[in-house]
Chains A and B, each alone.
Chain A
Amino acid sequence: MLIIQPHYHAIARTAQDYERMAQSGVVCVAEPAFWAGFDRKYPETFIDYFRQITEFEPTRAAQYGITHYAWVAVNPKEAENPELSRVVLDAMPEFFKRPNVLGVGETGLHLSSKNECEIFEAQVQLAVDYGQLLLIHTPHLHDKLFGTRKILEILAGFSSLDPDKVWIDHVEEHTIRPIREKGFWTGFTLYPITKCTATRACDMLEVYGWDRMMINSSADWGPSDPFTLQEAVLEFRRRGHSIQDATEIFYNNPCRFLGQNPKFKFKPIKIVEE
């Protein structure tokens, strides 16, 4: 089955992950900018990081027949440094012109501090001003509920924001309902311990349907595994759902959301029998 991995931190992963993903149906990954595990001191470090995910990483993926897209943003943790963040934000529009950049992401909140909220708002405004897609990270563990509510509150202040162009990620059972009600795209991130599991993601798909739903593995430098995505495919199929419905979730929906940016070349497909 063809699979699109819509949230994947390739720079933290090995070539073997690319190889095994390609062997198991992944044809495309999209890489949001994220926290490197330490707070960067210089705006230039971000710029070089953006160059890495827009210049080098596509060539690495291409060796395995995988198309690589990227997002640029200041992540919520480093948004705690607003001076540095503002300089990086000023440089982002140049990256929007790059052939594999799909939008602003992942922005969002971590501890929902005043600085984080300020830089998040600035990045939403940037996405609106430049007509970019928006990928929003929701906080971890016990901070998730409050942070998700705060994100929705901030987004409500943008009257010109089209919810169809916004993807709110790392959703769980206690945060999914208001996101669905507001009409945003919803993402489940599958991690071995935190966030969501394949079985819980499939439960939520069965409860809420799969319109505007996407599943990803994130896969970064922490405990994570890109193949939790294939686990979710298997879990969904084991429950008796059709291969077409699986394709809707794991391939067509990423095409529909990411394809709102004309640079994204993949189109939804239909499985037919001859």
Chain B
Amino acid sequence: METLFKLNNRKMATPILTPSQVLGNYYLDTRWHLLETAAMLDRAQRGEAAHPEDESMKTDPRAQLLREALDVLASDSAEPNRTERLLMIFTKLDPKNEERKD
């Protein structure tokens, strides 16, 4: 069992990753996701220029939800609950959720 404890030593000492470890492990992945987001917004903007009659980025509720989500990511958060807050924003997509509050 002693050997097992040594195997687990890192977990015992730091059951949650340090911020430095989080950056080390996830920086490139997060950079990739942010670039994908930026590219999608650029793609839509080019679409607006090419198809000015399509005002979806102004009128489609999904575009508004994406903007709200980006605001959450850009702001400071007192609690580590950004994922939950984004999911609550995306829950608004179904208008029935407004009518059917319990």
Residues of A participating in the B interface, judged by any CB pair closer than 8 Å: 141-146, 149-150, 153, 172-174, 199-200, 203, 206, 238-245, 271-273
Contacts and interface: CB of A to CB of B under 8 A. Distances in A.
Contact of B8 (A149, A150, A244): A244
Nearest to B97: A146
**Chain B interface SS verdict (over half):** helix
Given A142-B92, A243-B7, A238 B25 contact: yes
Interface residues of B, number: 28
Contacts of B10: 240
6 contacts: A141-B93, A142-B93, A199-B26, A242-B8, A244-B8, A273-B3
Interface in B11-67: 11, 14-17, 25-26
Contacts of B97: 142, 145-146
B76 interface: no
B22 to A, nearest CB: 9
Contacts of B11: 240-242, 245
A156 to B, nearest CB: 12
A245 B4 CA distance: 12
Given A142-B92, A146-B96, A272-B1, A173 B7 contact: no
Given A142-B92, A240-B17, A273-B1, 15 more contacts: A142-B91, A142-B94, A143-B94, A144-B91, A145-B88, A146-B94, A146-B102, A153-B102, A172-B87, A174-B88, A203-B83, A240-B10, A242-B8, A243-B7, A271-B4
Contacts of B100: 146
Contacts of B2: 273
A206 B94 contact: no
B66 to A, nearest CB: 13
Contacts of A172: 87
Contacts of A143: 94
Contacts of B93: 141-142
Given A173-B87, A200-B83, A238-B25, A272 B92 contact: no
Given A141-B93, A145-B88, A174-B88, A240 B14 contact: yes
A32 B65 CA distance: 34
Q: Kindly name the residue among A143, A149, A174 whose own CB sees the greatest number of chain B CB atoms within 10 A.
A: A174
Q: Which of A172, A203, A272, A273 has the most CB of B within 10 A?
A: A273
A208 B60 CA distance: 36
A238 B16 CA distance: 11
Contacts of B26: 199
Nearest to B94: A142
Contact of B90 (A142, A146, A238, A272): A142
A142 B65 CA distance: 12
Contact of A145 (B1, B16, B83, B91): B91
Contacts of A271: 4
